Amino acid sequence: MNLIFLGAPGAGKGTQAEIVCEKLGIPALSTGNMLREAVKNATPTGLAAKEYMDRGDLVPDDIVIGILKDRIAKPDAKNGFILDGFPRTVAQAEALDKMGVSIDKVIEIYVPDDVICGRLSGRRVCESCGASYHVDHKPTKSEGVCDSCGGKVVQRVDDKPETVLSRLATYHEKTAPLKDYYQAKGKLKTVVGQDSIADTAKLTLEAIEG
The residues that are catalytic are 13, 88, 123, 156, 167
Q: Does 45 bind ligand AP5 (CB under 6 A)?
A: no
Instruction: Kindly write out the interface string for residues 90-129 of this chain, putting x where it contacts ligand AP5 by CB under 6 A and - elsewhere.
Output: --x--------------------------x--xx------
Among 20, 59, 82, 146, binds ligand AP5 (CB under 6 A): 59
**52 is an interface residue for ligand AP5 by CB under 6 A:** yes
How many residues make contact with ligand AP5 (CB under 6 A)?
38
Query: How is the beta sheet containing 28-30 ordered, strand by strand?
Result: 28-30, 81-84, 2-6, 105-110, 188-192
Q: Which amino acid is at 163?
A: T
**Smallest separation, CB 76 to ligand AP5 (Å):** 20
Q: Decide if residue 13 touches ligand AP5 (CB under 6 A).
A: yes
Q: Cβ closer to ligand AP5: 46 or 85?
A: 85
In this chain, which residue has its C-beta nearest to ligand AP5? 32
> Which of 88, 105, 126, 130 is the binder for ligand AP5 (CB under 6 A)?
88
Interacting residue with ligand AP5 among 28, 29, 53, 82 (CB under 6 A) = 53
Q: Cis link prior to 87 (omega < 30° from 0)?
A: yes
The interaxial angle of helices 61-72 and 90-98, nearest 10 deg, is 40
Region label for 66, one of left (φ > 0), alpha (ψ between -120 and 50) or beta (otherwise) = alpha
Instruction: Give whichever of 101 and 197 is closer to ligand AP5, judged by the CB atom.
Output: 197
Binding site for ligand AP5 (CB under 6 A): 7, 9-15, 31-32, 35, 52-53, 56-59, 64, 85-86, 88, 92, 119, 122-123, 132-134, 137-138, 158, 167, 193-197, 200
